[in-house]
Structure 1
Amino acid sequence: MTTLTADLKKNNKKVPVRGMMDNVMEQFNSASDYIGLHPNIRKILSITNNEIIVNFPVKMDNGEVEIFQGYRVQHNNALGPYKGGLRYHPTVDIDAARALAMWMTWKTSLAGLPYGGGKGGIKIDPSKYSQAELERITRRFTFALADNIGPEHDIPAPDVNTNSQTMAWIADTYMSTRPPAERTANQHVVTGKPDGSGGLEGRDRATGYGVYLSIKFWAEKNNEPLVGKKFIVQGFGNVGYWAAHFLEKDGAQLVAVQDAYGSIENQKGINVEDLFNYIKVNEGSIVDFPNAKTIDKDKFFALNCDICIPAALGNQITKQNAPKIKATLIAEGANGPTNVEGEKILIDRGITVIPDILCNSGGVVGSYFEWLQNRNGEIWQLEDVMAKLDKKMKESFNKVFDYAKNEGIDMRTAAFCIAIQRIEKAYIQRGIFP
């Protein structure tokens, strides 16, 4: 026990909980030390470029006005416009936005995209508001962000509790504030829009498909068939569902799911489509799904399985539950689901972690395709999108896998090294504006 922790306990004070920013900085510093990152570039990448906090009023259905706080953090744009999601969740704050924005910088760099990293959202529980209220909140948030976003500057996308409808509201509001001659040219201010509003066919499944591909590529590298592999999924939203959908098609078996409402298990298998159809009529919850038993939430990560897919929120796998995990592979569908202490335990136990900046990068790759489609006035077909996504994900996976194997390091450190080196090269070639 450290002196600080001991003193806090002795004085009956709450021990500080390690946040996502602590995790991302430790990951960044570890990789930077490994590659010998130039000190000046380390200084630049250790901080964010811009942090926007907006407070804005919205009239509720009952006529009362509520004040909301929204965030947009722009970490780095050395490689291109800021890119990253907007989430609506009670845990959204400036610290979380900073960490998520930094992860986006590494994610877009690793994927070889012409983007930097940004992230943000609103501190809100969307389940407490009507659809009409959420529309007004979203439009007012977009107006408050004003010129801090733009198709060549900062391009938001869906994240936790936001979706294609949210993006359509943002795009419409943003375009309405532009001069008439520029409105249609700004459609790509956001990605993840509905198909009929400039969205990319297949964007809805891109993140989950990327998670599946990462698992598939790992299995191929290790000569392990997916048929018969048991997997568990934390979070059965867009990412968790599509990852499970494609894994089941390859013969893997879903045996447990956890969401914000509860945890269920059936070691004989849970049919993915049956569960998906169930939650559509059960207010998005897996609770009381008839073909599985309810289990204690604290036992979820300790279940018997081969593959674990944390696809919910950050800091889910920690030093408390990492020793109990039975899976041999962790595929990070969420951003930052494994904290530093938890990952050290997993690595020491010989458990492979496919890191978030690689594993769930199918979403930002799909966003790039949508951005290109809008920018060029094209319409891409689903089969072309999936083929391009497959190729892009395989290139990224092979780079990380080979780097990790050749250097004798874990996949996260390898992914960070590759991502940081690409940005370092850009700074070295261009120099720093005096």
Structure 2
Amino acid sequence: KLRYGVSKVLEDSSYSPDLKRKYKVADMITGYGVSESIRHYYELFGENCFGKRAVIQGWGNVAAAATFYLSKLGVKIVGIIDRVGGLINPEGFGEEDITRLFLERKGNELCSPDLIPFDQIQKEIWSLETDIFVPAAASRLVSKDQIQHMISHGLEVIASGANVPFADQEIFYGPVMEFADQHVAVIPDFIANCGMARVFAYLMQPNIEISDDAIFSDVSSVIFEALKKIRTVSSKKTHISSRAYEIALKQLVETINEL
């Protein structure tokens, strides 16, 4: 059941950029969770992500899938930076553009005739007007300087698609992450990109429905509940990650004490 669920080919067009390409749950679920974490964050704090602008770092499975689902929610993708280069559109790429870029990927590479060379985009992308940042490339790439630039251009929320996206030595909450957490809403990796781990947990339950909608909806509701707990503790839009760690550690201690 576990193997079947994870490698299940998507049959529902709301979750797949192209049914003929036979994308699997495993290809799309983590990016979907990242996108849902952003949607839930805005809704829990009384806003809507429709029309918000986003910058994406990476173009592997997580980054590309998160971008695809964000574009379906009406988020305007103003920039994508990948290791080979990137794209900028201050007006925002829409769902059609993003679906095309998703389908034209070569492996994990962003492909477009308009590709801006890496050295140039690395100078420009951090100064775009943006509300959302999704670091979903390799770990430990995001510097304090880059975050400061984005904050001064309107940044509101960071949803971690990568594990440990910040350029910190520490695994949990180093100085760069702490700086970001003090200034904007940082949804930590263990919530934003828990999709795959959650699918495993879901599939290990007895008598569950194994449909695209059931699997994806379960991931969405688990992320929603985690963010709701944080929102219940405080309505502040900063220190989201520090509250998330406190809640997670408390749950861990309670579980250990029950053993």
Bin of the TM-score, shorter chain as denominator length: 0.7 to 0.9
Change (3 A) 1:377 1:368: same
Give CA-to-partner distance per residue, 1:167-198, whole Å, 9 cap, x none. xxxxxxxxxxxxxxxxxxxx85x7985227xx
* Equivalent in the alignment of 1:194: 7
Task: Please list, as runs of the form range in 1=range in 2, the aligned pairs for 1:213-362 lying within 5 A after superposition.
Answer: 213-270=36-93, 271-280=97-106, 284-287=108-111, 289-291=112-114, 293-294=116-117, 295-325=120-150, 326=153, 327-338=155-166, 339=168, 340-348=174-182, 350-362=183-195
Contact 1:318–1:341 at 8 Å: present in 2 too? no
Indicate conservation of the 8 Å contact 1:227/1:252, yes or no: yes
Deviation at 1:380, TM superposition (A): 0.6
Count of matched residue positions in the alignment of Structure 1 and Structure 2: 232
Equivalent-residue separation in structure 2 for 1:224 and 1:405 (angstroms) = 13
Superposition deviation, residue 414 in structure 1: 1.3
The residue aligned with 2:231 is: 401
- The CA deviation at 1:336 is 0.6
**How far did residue 412 of structure 1 move?**
1.1
Residue 364 of structure 1 corresponds to which residue in structure 2? 197
- Structure 1 distance, partners of 2:45, 2:208, is 39
Give CA-to-partner distance per residue, 1:239-297, whole Å, 9 cap, x none. Answer: 111211111111111121112222221223332112112224xx54225x135644332
Would you say the 8 A contact 1:239–1:311 is kept in 2?
Answer: yes
2:241 aligns with one of 406, 412, 416: 412
CA distance in 2, matches of 1:249, 1:264: 19
2:92 is paired with a residue of what secondary structure? Answer: coil
Secondary structure of residue in 2 paired with 1:274: helix
Equivalent-residue separation in structure 2 for 1:398 and 1:319 (angstroms): 28
The structural deviation recorded for 1:335 is 0.7
Q: TM-score, normalised by structure 1?
A: 0.48
Q: In the TM superposition, what is the alpha-carbon distance from 1:317 to its structure 2 partner?
A: 2.0
Cα drift, residue 399 of structure 1: 1.1
Structure 1 residues 298 and 192 mapped into 2: Cα distance closer, same or farther (>3 Å)?
farther
Q: Residues 210 and 393 of structure 1 are in contact (CA less than 8 Å); yes or no, is this contact kept in structure 2?
A: yes
CA distance in 2: counterparts of 1:244 and 1:409, whole angstroms: 24
Q: How far did 1:337 drift?
A: 0.5
Give the Cα–Cα distance (whole angstroms) in 1 for the partners of residues 103 and 258 of structure 2.
52
Distance in 2, matches of 1:381 and 1:201, equals 12
1:382 matched to 2:212: yes
Residue 17 (structure 1) aligns with: none
Report the identity percentage: 24
Normalised by the length of structure 2, the TM-score is 0.78
Comparing both chains, which one has the higher relative contact order based on Cα–Cα distances under 8 Å and sequence gaps of 6 or more? Answer: 2
Q: Does the 8 Å contact 2:162/2:189 carry over to 1?
A: yes
Supply the AA of the counterpart residue of 2:216: M
Q: Using the TM superposition, give the Cα deviation of residue 220 of structure 1 relative to its aligned residue in structure 2, in angstroms.
A: 1.1
Cα distance, 1:310 vs. partner? 0.2
Question: RMSD in angstroms over aligned alpha carbons?
Answer: 2.8
